[in-house]
Structure 1
Amino acid sequence: MNIEAKGFSVNLEGARWRKSTRSGPYSDNCVEVAFVGGAVALRDSKDKAGPVLLFTPEEWVAFVGGTKDGEFDLS
């Protein structure tokens, strides 16, 4: 599967997907990430054939930093 976005053209065949360390057996909010072709791909771990979001490395660093800082906390 090839996808194109944000100036990237990446082939997800053979991508090594990693599941979030925060995912657990009783969670419905699990994602997987793959670093491929200079981009960062993100998908729902329950829908492996579903849509994939593609991020630049800079966007990914900002997202991870925001989650660590609590920027997306609901409370």
Structure 2
Amino acid sequence: MTTTAQTPSGWDKPELDLSNADWQSGSQGAGDVQIAFVEGFIAMRNAARPGSPSLIFAPDEWRAFVMNAREGEFDLT
């Protein structure tokens, strides 16, 4: 079930039920980040702390994040 929470900035983010999410890791379980596709959104969590809050992305936000990561925007120098 999805509910929407109003954030201070006025942007709505869904509160998803992630209890049955199929979490995936790009590094075959050895990575620090896992993602799950739930109800048309993408959830991201810290694999080392699965009970901590997850980040929720709309599909357009996720696409922008992935494209910028591919282009090296988040690379450490």
Give TM-score, length-normalised by structure 1. Answer: 0.77
Higher RCO (C-alpha under 8 Å, 6+ residues apart): 1
Q: What is the root-mean-square deviation in Å for CA atoms of aligned residues?
A: 2.3
The one-letter code of the counterpart of 2:42 is V
Instruction: Give the Cα separation in 1 of the matches to 2:60 and 2:73.
Output: 17
Which aligned runs of 4 or more in structure 1 are off by greater than 6 angstroms? none
Q: What are the ranges of 5 or more consecutive residues in structure 2 without an aligned counterpart? A: 6-11
Aligned twin of 1:50: 52
Instruction: Give % identity.
Output: 36
* 1:30–1:7 Cα change, 3 Å: closer
Aligned twin of 2:18: 12
Give TM-score, length-normalised by structure 2. Answer: 0.75
Q: What are the ranges of 5 or more consecutive residues in structure 1 without an aligned counterpart? A: none
**Alignment coverage as a number of residue pairs:** 70
Aligned twin of 1:33: 35
The one-letter code of the counterpart of 1:41 is A
